Amino acid sequence: MSSLRIARAALQVRPAAIARPLQRRGYADVASDKIKLSLALPHQAIYKSQDVVQVNMPAETGEMGVLANHVPSIEQLKPGLVEVIEESGGSKQFFLSGGFAVVQPGSQLSINAVEGFPLEDFSAEAVRNQIAEAQKIAGGSGSEQDIAEAKIELEVLESLQAALK
Amino acid sequence: MAFAWKAAGLTYNRYVSVASRVVRRSLKEDKRIAAERRGESDLRFAKWENGKQGENKSLNTANEAAVADAAGHQSS
């Protein structure tokens, strides 16, 4: 009689043990369609490993959009507009002064830049004034470095002006 | 990739600091004042020779001189 009870107890234990592996989530369940974005400046982290849907950015090799499960790569960014499409469906736009984007395995994206601000923080008038100034220097008879720096400024300002329109 | 600034003897560091400076200057007044403080740096150094301190120099001007010098060697 007692041996029968032990046998029945063993029978009752087993179904629970079998059920557990069935509840375990596989890779297919875990893989999400979101990408973890970290957008960091030396003085501030705008995004800290936050789930977003898509990030569009101006790489030196051309405009690129990054979704989840993107191939790992390192891209130098041009000074320009980075668009972040968030989980809620809304999108945010930041103008970055140039930096690097690193797409890491496991749907992680790290963007590093020196300066980055939302578009509404810029003044169209300041941009226009600076373009005039930089054009004067770029076309002037300064040193090779001064002209090169003015051309960098022009590149940034023209990108900024196009983004502000 | 051939960048125009690289041909002029500028480093990537210099390129990105020029780009950032111009981004800061393009901000609206209130944000600009707070941001422009980040672009400032002032460091002085002196070379010690035979136990004597040499001339005090600003790192920023020394860097600019070095860039101009490097560009001169490159083009010639």
Span A121-149, average pLDDT: 89
Facing A153 at nearest CB: one of B22, B64, B68: B22
Q: CA-CA distance, A152 to B16, in Å (whole number)?
A: 9
Grouping H, G, I as helix, E, B as strand and the rest as coil, residue A27 is helix
User: Could you tell me which residues are beta bridge partners of residue A50?
Assistant: A37
Span A157-162, average pLDDT: 92
Cα four-point dihedral sign A150, A154, A160, A165: positive
Contact A152 B22 (CB under 8 A): yes
Cα A136 → chain centroid: 36
Sorted by where each begins, the domain ranges of chain A are: 35-120, 123-164
Span A73-86, average pLDDT: 93
Contact A152 B20 (CB under 8 A): no
Nearest to A114 by CA among A97, A102, A101: A97
- At A88, the pLDDT band (50, 70, 90 cuts) reads confident
pLDDT of residue A110: 95
Contact B27 A122 (CB under 8 A): yes
- At A8, the pLDDT band (50, 70, 90 cuts) reads low
Which of B1, B20, B26, B76 best probes binding to A when mutated, by most A CB atoms within 10 angstroms? B26
Looking at A36-40, A103-107, A114-118, B39-43, which range is the least confident one? B39-43
Chain B closest-CA separation from residue A20 CA (Å): 55
Tell me the chain A residues in contact with residue B38 when contact means C-beta distances shorter than 8 Å. 42-43, 115
With a cut of 50, say whether residue A17 has pLDDT above it.
no
Domain A35-120 falls in which CATH fold?
Answer: ATP Synthase; domain 1 (2.60.15)
Sorted by where each begins, the domain ranges of chain B are: 1-40, 42-75
Contact A97 B20 (CB under 8 A): yes
The DSSP secondary-structure symbol of A71 reads: P
Q: CA-CA distance, A123 to A121, in Å (whole number)?
A: 7
